[in-house]
Amino acid sequence: MRETQQSNGLPFMKMHGAGNDFVVIDQRGAPALVTASLARAIGDRHTGVGFDQLVTLDDAADADILLTFWNSDGSIAGACGNATRCVARHLMTQTGKAALTIRTARGLLHAEDAGDGLTRVNMGAPQLDWAEVPLARPADLLHLPLPGDPVAVGMGNPHCIFFVPNAEAVDVANLGPALEHDPLFPERTNVEFASLITPDHLRMRVWERGAGITLACGSGTCATAVAAAQRGLTGRSVTIDVDGGTLHVDWRDDGVWLTGPTAHVFDGILTPSFLAAHK
């Protein structure tokens, strides 16, 4: 898919990584097409297409592709690991390359074919300073001054991670919104709830900033793995079960690598009338 808006509509792809679902719009060689209003309209699961994040593809001078991520509420997401993996898989299939460089707001990321149909991306080094996460004030990131003793980790976007006895029992729908908007997080936050299965295996559920409950969150999976290793619960290589499947995180010296499945579900076209109504 490499078409831009025409009189007959706007082509898009629907993809997902472990159930974390995306609308992908290739706008290379064309003016920017997506606005906050259009992103919200496409993200509506009743009157649009529906997605956790929308991804736009643009040309990059120093990379194979430039990606921008939009949440379903029309806000910009600074990082999106599963969407990065999905687009990387699409481009590797399209070009025959086994490795790519990808420019995002997070920086220059490296993606590669991990074999067995899996795709891996280096999400960069975790941000472990309160101002980088960011927090509203200095705090111990390993023991935030919030009920439940959470951990804060930045992965190009903020994360607040709770380690709980049983992630399945957490009322994510009620806890997530309040924590997302807690004053400690001036840019809001993603919220993860994780429980230990074995020293190299976690179960995680997530409330995403600007999107709500999702079946997976790539950056959140990375943040949870970093937090677990820092707390001494796991090593730096861990498997994490999310609602939509299983992901693997390897926190190496060169960054946090995220590996998992991807799927190209269908192609579609947004109609001219839909586009005109949501400029």
Among 80, 86, 160, 222, the active-site one is: 80
**How far apart, in Å, do the first and last CA atoms of the chain sit?**
22
Tell me whether residue 86 is one of the annotated catalytic residues: no
Amino acid found at 112: E
Closest among 239, 157, 226 to 200, alpha carbons compared: 239
Residue 100 and residue 87 in contact, taking contact as beta carbons nearer than 8 Å? no
3: Cα within 13 Å, side-chain hemisphere: 14
| Phi (first) and psi of residue 39, to 5 degrees | -60, -45
How far apart are the C-alpha atoms of 56 and 54, rounded to whole Å? 7
Rg (CA), the chain: 18
- Tell me whether residue 94 is exposed, middle or buried, using C-beta atoms within 10 angstroms of its C-beta: 0 to 12, 13 to 18, 19 or more: exposed
Q: Pick the catalytic residue: 86, 160, 217, 222? A: 217
Token look-up 């995002």 returns 104
Residue 117 Ramachandran class (φ > 0 left, ψ -120 to 50 alpha, else beta): left
* Residue 26 C-beta-side C-alpha neighbours within 13 Å: 16
Burial track 32-71 (b if 16+ CB lie within 10 A, e otherwise): eebeeebbbbbbeeeebbebbbbbbbbebeebbbbbbbbb
Instruction: Tell me whether residue 222 is one of the annotated catalytic residues.
Output: no
Catalytic residues: 80, 217
